[in-house]
């Protein structure tokens, strides 16, 4: 077991060399983008690439091996986030096994960089296709893609109708038939699911989350959150932070 002295020394060396840990909320947002099939978001999070990203922890004194360890962690985390999002266990773990073996065979940082991009986009694309398979027409699949890609904005039926080229009333009826809920309820549910993740795994307050997810006000966000979950954002955080074992100090964890 790692001693407190070793941990203290490691932090001392990090401070002396003016190194820093990448943002833990950013790490969670990255894996959430993979989980929801947000291809645009995943591409943005991969800039700069894994071999140029600052804040990576030192897991090995060998630079190539260090990158391999980080890629293995990314693969494992991606698999688990995708399982949580509905991917079949055998598919998620099968991909994980294949990509970890490929990681082991990498000989250069460039190969690690290429494989990292392939892994993240593959998992994200499979989650995107998984969402589409739940919708029976191209119009509704297009609608759902737009919603997931724009959860940080205000989404209206009119915007979706314009995006799909359908009449508002017709789109609303079609969406309710195929998805089982109204467009407005679906959008709110996806935003609340994202908010739950942010409350459990980050230090963002209710006001920040309301702003990030484009709710008109914190009070409105809290009301909608309570209607969907039966509890307030604060109580949800207290309960689920204990369950996950996360605290504020975890905000300094290395981004994978």
Q: What is the pLDDT of residue 119?
A: 96
Does residue 106 sit in the same domain as residue 160? no
| pLDDT of 255 strictly over 90 | no
Q: What is the dihedral of CA 121, 212, 206, 39, to 10 degrees?
A: -10
Q: Looking at residue 177, which CATH number applies to its domain?
A: 1.10.10.60
Highest mean pLDDT among 34-43, 57-66, 94-103: 94-103
Checking if the pLDDT of 249 tops 70, the result is no
Q: Which domain holds residue 41?
A: 23-133
In a domain, 82, yes or no: yes
Quote the pLDDT of residue 160: 97
Query: Which pLDDT band, with edges at 50, 70 and 90, does 21 fall under?
Result: low
**Considering only 83-87, 188-192, 196-200, 205-209, which range has the smallest mean pLDDT?**
196-200
Tell me, yes or no, whether 27 and 128 share the same domain: yes
Residue ending a domain, choose from 133, 166, 201: 133
Distances (CA, A) of 86 to 74, 130, 162: 18, 8, 29
Q: How confident is the model at residue 247 (pLDDT cuts 50, 70, 90)?
A: very low
- The pLDDT-based confidence of 217 (bands split at 50, 70, 90) is very high
Q: CA–CA separation, 92 vs 86, rounded Å?
A: 10
pLDDT at 149: 85
User: What pLDDT does 58 receive?
Assistant: 80
Instruction: Report pLDDT for 55.
Output: 66
pLDDT at 14 over 50: no
Residues 74 and 102 placed together within one structural domain of the fold:
yes
- Is the residue at 16 inside a domain? no
> How do residues 95-109 score in pLDDT, each as one tens digit?
999 999 999 999 999
Are residues 239 and 143 both part of a single domain? Answer: yes
Count of structural domains within the chain: 2
Q: Are residues 36 and 126 in the same domain?
A: yes
Which tokens hold the place of 192?
């609340």
More confident residue, 148 or 235: 235
In a domain, 49, yes or no: yes
Residue 177 structure tokens: 């038939």
| Residue that finishes a domain, picked among 77, 107, 133 | 133
Residues 150 and 91 reside in one and the same domain: no
Burial class (CB in 10 A: 0-12, 13-18, 19+), 179: middle
Q: Does some domain include residue 110? A: yes
Q: What is the pLDDT of residues 120-175, one digit of tens each?
A: 999 999 998 887 776 667 899 889 989 988 999 999 999 999 999 999 999 999 99
Question: Could you tell me the pLDDT band of residue 78, with boundaries at 50, 70 and 90?
Answer: very high
pLDDT of 243 strictly over 50: no
Q: What pLDDT does 23 receive? A: 64
């Amino acid at each position: 077991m790692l001693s407190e002295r070793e941990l203290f020394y490691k932090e001392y060396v990090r401070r002396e060399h003016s190194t820093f840990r990448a943002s833990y909320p950013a790490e969670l947002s990255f894996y959430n983008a993979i989980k929801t099939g947000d291809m645009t978001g995943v591409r943005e999070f991969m800039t700069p690439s894994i071999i140029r990203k600052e804040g990576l922890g030192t897991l090995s004194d060998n630079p190539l091996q260090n990158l391999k360890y980080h890629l293995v962690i990314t693969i494992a985390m991606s698999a688990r986030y995708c399982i949580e999002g509905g991917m079949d266990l055998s598919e998620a773990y099968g991909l994980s096994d294949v990509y970890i073996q490929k990681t082991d065979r990498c000989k250069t940082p460039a190969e690690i960089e290429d494989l990292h991009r392939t892994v993240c986009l593959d998992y994200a694309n499979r989650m995107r296709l998984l969402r589409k398979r739940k919708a029976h027409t191209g119009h509704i699949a297009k609608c759902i893609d737009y919603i997931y890609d724009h959860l940080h904005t205000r989404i209206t039926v009119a915007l979706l109708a314009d995006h799909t080229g359908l009449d508002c009333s017709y789109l609303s009826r079609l969406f309710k038939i195929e998805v089982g809920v109204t467009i407005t309820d679906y959008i709110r549910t996806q935003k609340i699911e994202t908010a739950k993740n942010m409350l459990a795994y980050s230090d963002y307050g209710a006001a920040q989350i309301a702003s990030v997810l484009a709710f008109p006000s914190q009070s409105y966000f809290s009301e909608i959150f309570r209607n969907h979950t039966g509890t307030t954002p604060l109580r949800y955080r207290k309960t689920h932070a204990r369950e996950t074992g996360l605290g504020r100090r975890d905000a300094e964890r290395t981004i994978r």
